[in-house]
Amino acid sequence: MSAADRIYPALLRAYPRAWAAAHGNELLATLAFSSQGRVLPREVTGLLLGGFHQRRLEDRSRPRAATFDSAACLAALLLLGVSLMSSIAIALDPVMLGAGLPPWTFPLATLLSLSKFALLLRGHPGAALLLAPFSYPLLLATASPIILLIWLDTPAVAGLAWLALRRRPAPTVSWGWMLVPLMLGAAMLLPFPLFGIAIGITLATTLLVAACEVRFALAAVPVCFVLAGYWTVTYFTLGTSSVSQSLLHPAMGLAVVGLAFLLRSAGNVSPRSSTTPR
């Protein structure tokens, strides 16, 4: 298999999935003749720009209500994902474990975060919303830095309420989005220079995809705002705790959103809204 046989089909992922299904094979057949099996920069650029252009056209044709639902779902997912990873990170921090809290506090907080995340992922924002009140007494009772997760949970709960209370079917998101908190967890372990490179790549992807799809831009604004606030408060509260060092970085907010965009642009974990006409 030549490089062209691998690279061109991979670049088709820049296109919306439905467009690639309808026209992808025909485009690749034409490309096989025009490029004669070579990878040409002109063709690579043409596919990337063509894909983003098609995504923008598809975005414009999406109903406005579906765009808001999708943005609320993405924003809530990202915040719940960060909340989940933060609660795990805090639970594993020796400083936190030595704070004299009941041992069941952290696993229970993590289990609640995971449940809310999974329920929203599978299109059950109402069930996730019902779990939310159980988190608050738990977080407040601990009177520890974990209480800061309320900062993340409250806007996420607002997103859940929006999705649960409006009279439209909830968007469902593929299990692939579980990668978001997992990748965030992995990013926390990266040494600083690598972390900086990861942020650069995700930020560039963010700008590209947000320019194409309004719902990502709509989701990015509250998520970046809330995360910037979260990490600022964490910085002044936790100081130099070992975990807080990796949690603090304000750019992590951008990286989280960028990770989601990266996954979306990879084309295989896209949110699908049942309110969008097929």
Partner 1 sequence: MSRPLREPSYFVLAALIDGPLHGYAILKQVLELSDGRVRLSTGTLYGALERLTADGLLLPGAEEVVEGRPRRAYSLTPTGLTAVTAEAERLEAAARVVMARTSIVRVSPA
Residues in contact with partner 1 by the rule CB under 8 A: 19, 23, 25-27, 29-35, 40, 42-43, 45-51, 53-54
User: Which C-beta is closer to partner 1: that of 2 or that of 30?
Assistant: 30
Please say whether the beta carbons of 200 and 254 come within 8 A: no
- Residue 31 Cβ, how far from partner 1 at the closest point, in Å? 5
**Three-state SS annotation for 136-172:** HHHHHHHCCHHHHHHHHHHHHHHHHHHHHHCCCCCCE
- Residue 242 Cβ, how far from partner 1 at the closest point, in Å? 48
User: Which C-beta is closer to partner 1: that of 35 or that of 172?
Assistant: 35
B/e letters for 174-195, b = 16+ CB within 10 Å, e = fewer, are eeebbbbbebbbebbeeeeeeb
- Residue 208 Cβ, how far from partner 1 at the closest point, in Å? 15
User: Which C-beta is closer to partner 1: that of 2 or that of 232?
Assistant: 2
- Residue 181 Cβ, how far from partner 1 at the closest point, in Å? 34
Q: Which amino acid is at 263?
A: L
Helix/strand/coil for 272: strand
Compute the distance between CA of residue 46 and CA of residue 60 in angstroms, rounded to an integer.
Answer: 21
User: Which C-beta is closer to partner 1: that of 47 or that of 210?
Assistant: 47
User: Which C-beta is closer to partner 1: that of 45 or that of 268?
Assistant: 45
Question: 70: which 2 tokens?
Answer: 């999708």
Burial of 94 (0-12, 13-18, 19+ CB in 10 A): exposed
- Residue 233 Cβ, how far from partner 1 at the closest point, in Å? 46
